[in-house]
Structure 1
């Protein structure tokens, strides 16, 4: 029974959770997502505050429960070109992802008493993920069988559930601090597995490996009481133990390998302004992939496995506005911009992790059914803003020496793009006020 609870939470709250900003969710829950993820200095709901600034939960009194569930649709497309057998010719193809719909839940709980300086919170969020399913193809070179110099069926599934325990303290009626230890559960599946050494038959398939990690988040929140608000938070690197893969090769031989992939540190600052019927929020985040195991290194090992994803740091800007002029029906609009962590030199290494969304647009609303109960809904659409593109790479030592970086095959190309759509509904219930 003890092992069942964390397994059930992991299954429920991180099933195929796909990201929009690198492999990081741009927001959590219907309200925060509809504000573009902006919440560091404008805590409109407890989910956004618990995710982006633990100090901001000090603004909530009473005992509050949030639960949201969404249906996520993504449509990655994979393109590739290789030189043909005749000089001056090439072979090109396209493969559509057939992954389907993914659920996206979020649970948040906050309790505190009016007049008390202490506020506590609990959260269980699927905060990170990527996944593709590109079937084997005889027309797209990259998806041709490994016996034909392709990779065959390319499938990935990464999911991260984060549980946070939050404490916020009001230093004054305008200034609060907060701290949140975090506990993480992740799973990773790769097919074929490029982190393993290939044998004569190619790269192996593998089982779904799991890992656990720990980290923390600290935050500051300032409310001028005149409408202007400011906030800042720092989420540390989430340090994981290794994923342990059990591999099966095409010739039915077996082997095992390990791979470490942490979750990057995130720096957030935000401004908020509330006046009359409007709440406005803007957040800026820096995601530190360049100092994160699994992302900081790239290229081939001496045994031709992949060292890491090789991602650059990314900038995220989230903007949201809420209009409260309609009785019991607040309306929200949000926009999120994210830079691309994948440069052309490492595009090939990142075919399993194509969840890169440059522009995301959101609309949401709340129906305040009573003083204690509210219903929330939102819609999201995102696009990658064009293709991520680079050359196909080969770990052959002579190619690496003659065609840097990493053995780029002359005349080849691999690229991918995608769009995302999300419909989410949820509720807020106040137990006492």
Structure 2
């Protein structure tokens, strides 16, 4: 049965899953999402427990299947202030213009599948899960010339900016009750990740395209590259008779092989292939739970370690090591350069209404993007600072439970920094006129004077799930 479950999970989720528009999902499934993602010490459902603390599945004494499906939508906006170009000659006019582009990606599906095997008289509990735990994606269409500078056609801007990243994680969990109140758990994980970029900032741009005419390529587009990754999660869980619960878990970094991209210029010609390693960060979680009468309360704190994760720790331009341009940027990007983030999740469930438990949840996340590096994160603009959730459950039968949640998130303002110039052989003065090469020593990122690039967004999601408890 496990092999069948695993095969179906990969086939279904690899085709459909698109993670929340932030790199780390705040929760999994309707119940956990409605509690703001808090579950490290308050396992109200098996999906939340399997995602955040494998030790907590010890509270489930039956065989349970949980399936969730949601529709997620976001509305990123990309704005920039940059130099105006003469549409006929392609030369800069010296004027600055500001424009805004709205994302037209649409709705993305979000499924999640989990199962737990537990028995009342056994100290062992097992679980199997297939979750989309991460993802980002934007589609900012190319704009009319001089409407939004960053979406100008290449080589005057980057044209259409599109990204699509997803990460599917399958975990096999085991929990052991050391005592009636204390459990430990372990969960080995296998991951599948895929990334597509257009244009690809991981490639060195061609600064001398075939014709040199407006619309010629500078950066190529990539195909969709995929890689497998491996990791594990460890947890402890304390469930006191007084109703107080404590939990902690450590999810190791998920180590991936390289993403190997085949690249194509806009005219259809082949560009050099590139390889990029992007792991999933280590996550440390601590949780507090309390259950008394009709009230279940949950509070989680998480630290996400981007600063020691391949693909996120590195920042700036790749530097040429040999040839006439040795010591100068190639125009290819090293990585996102994200900071560690702190996440606070809180949730409350009220069971005082017969057959209709109600839940509210809130999630706060700090911003991983430094202002000066905002330019490098245009393909991953999902910075959700505040998320609000409202959910419910309803028993359809004694064994079948319907769960639902509505989510709304906001970036709480704009992440904004300078436009960065990927062409080190060409600098521009305050009036936008050519002024020789930019100084790598004093301006290592190639900041463009008086320019800006920024993004902000809101998100929404509706998700429903069914949980079925098998009869003994």
Corresponding residue of 2:188: 181
The whole-number CA distance in structure 2 between the counterparts of 1:266 and 1:17 is: 20
Matched, 1:239 2:288: no
Matches within 5 A, 1:158-169: 158-169=165-176
Corresponding residue of 1:347: 374
CA 1:4–1:243 in 2, change beyond 3 Å: closer, same or farther? farther
C-alpha offsets along residues 7-56 of structure 1, whole Å, 9 cap, x if unaligned?
86446325352335x40100000000000000000000000000000000
Q: Which of 205, 208, 212 lines up with 2:224 in the alignment?
A: 208
Q: Which of 321, 328, 344 lines up with 2:355 in the alignment?
A: 328
SS of the counterpart of 1:352?
Answer: helix
Corresponding residue of 2:104: 98
Corresponding residue of 2:114: 108
Runs ≥4 residues deviating over 6 A: 3-8
Corresponding residue of 2:430: none
C-alpha offsets along residues 273-308 of structure 1, whole Å, 9 cap, x if unaligned?
000100000000000000000000111112221000
SS of the counterpart of 1:349?
Answer: helix
The whole-number CA distance in structure 2 between the counterparts of 1:51 and 1:97 is: 30
CA 1:305–1:400 in 2, change beyond 3 Å: closer, same or farther? farther
SS of the counterpart of 2:57?
Answer: helix
The whole-number CA distance in structure 2 between the counterparts of 1:11 and 1:96 is: 32
Structure 2 alignment gaps of length 5 or more: 85-91, 210-217, 320-329, 425-436
Corresponding residue of 2:49: 49
The whole-number CA distance in structure 2 between the counterparts of 1:8 and 1:98 is: 31
Corresponding residue of 2:423: 396
Corresponding residue of 2:414: 387
SS of the counterpart of 1:356?
Answer: coil
Cα drift, residue 374 of structure 1: 0.5
More moved, 401-410 vs 241-250: 401-410
Corresponding residue of 2:82: 82
Are the aligned partners of 1:399 and 1:408 in contact in 2 as well (CA < 8 Å)? no
Cα drift, residue 255 of structure 1: 2.1
CA 1:400–1:185 in 2, change beyond 3 Å: closer, same or farther? farther
Corresponding residue of 2:149: 141
Matches within 5 A, 1:32-431: 32-84=32-84, 85=92, 89-138=95-144, 139-147=147-155, 149-199=156-206, 200-201=208-209, 202-251=218-267, 252-302=269-319, 303-397=330-424, 398-401=437-440, 404-431=443-470
CA 1:5–1:243 in 2, change beyond 3 Å: closer, same or farther? farther
C-alpha offsets along residues 335-384 of structure 1, whole Å, 9 cap, x if unaligned?
00000000111100000001110000000000012321110011000000
Are the aligned partners of 1:320 and 1:332 in contact in 2 as well (CA < 8 Å)? yes
How large is the RMSD of aligned CA atoms in angstroms? 1.7
The whole-number CA distance in structure 2 between the counterparts of 1:62 and 1:115 is: 10
The whole-number CA distance in structure 1 between the counterparts of 2:157 and 2:186 is: 48
SS of the counterpart of 1:38?
Answer: coil
Are the aligned partners of 1:403 and 1:409 in contact in 2 as well (CA < 8 Å)? no
The whole-number CA distance in structure 2 between the counterparts of 1:23 and 1:278 is: 32
SS of the counterpart of 2:372?
Answer: helix
The whole-number CA distance in structure 1 between the counterparts of 2:387 and 2:12 is: 25
The whole-number CA distance in structure 2 between the counterparts of 1:95 and 1:383 is: 18
TM-score, normalised by the number of residues in structure 1 = 0.96
More moved, 179-188 vs 401-410: 401-410
Structure 1 alignment gaps of length 5 or more: none
